[in-house]
Homo-oligomer: A and B are copies of this chain.
Amino acid sequence: MGERSAVKKQLIVDAARRVFADKGYKDVTMTDIVEACGISRGGLYLYFGSTRELFLEVMRAEEGMDDDVFAGQLGEDAAAVDVLMLFFREQKREILGKKGDLSMAVYEYCFAGEDGKEEPALKRRFESAIRALERLIEAGIDDGSFYEVDAREVSRNVMYALEGMRICSRTMGLTEAEVDGELLALARGLVAE
């Protein structure tokens, strides 16, 4: 695959990302992608044989974008509390926001998984997020701003609760107050304030 092809491929993936974010996973047709990226039907098939392949590519492109979430943020000037608050603010936005994010598509893709084969990449990413949060909590404990909790345990609980809110928001709807309430409760489990 030459230089040109790589560019075109990226163009397709970008367009596909928009489509998946908009329509989820199962409702997306090859026609949707074709229309979104202004390429020919046959042309698209030269690169991707199905919406599944395309979605996997979109996911792969997504990887690494938010690894080491807190890497570099934790410095001398940034306190653990501040980083945590930043993280929560970001999460709140994602949980309440409906458009432009892939979470529904990801869920749907997983549901569609044949034979219950879970996506290992997804788990890897989730675990890596847990560990990152864990390190943040440890840092908070070290500098005395957080309670002396079991960092691993609390990190997992926070992540499950966030995931729970994400799905609740998309299925039954959550108000901003409800999200704020839970985030506050989670924060109070770590810091006095």
Contacts and interface: CB of A to CB of B under 8 A. Distances in A.
Interface of A: 24, 26-27, 98, 104, 106-108, 110-112, 116, 118-120, 122-123, 126, 150, 153-154, 156-157, 159-168, 170-173, 178, 181-182, 185-186
Nearest to A169: B118
Nearest to A26: B26
A172 B61 CA distance: 18
A174 B167 CA distance: 17
A98 B113 CA distance: 13
A164 to B, nearest CB: 3
Nearest to A108: B111
A107 B160 contact: no
Top 8 nearest A-B pairs by Cβ distance? A164-B164, A118-B173, A160-B164, A163-B164, A110-B171, A123-B172, A122-B172, A160-B161
A171 B116 CA distance: 8
Contacts of A186: 157
A117 to B, nearest CB: 9
A188 B44 CA distance: 54
A168 to B, nearest CB: 6
A157 B182 contact: yes
A176 to B, nearest CB: 14
B156 A181 contact: yes
A11 to B, nearest CB: 23
A167 B171 CA distance: 12
Nearest to A116: B98
Contact of A164 (B159, B171, B172): B159
Contacts of A98: 116
B157 A168 contact: no
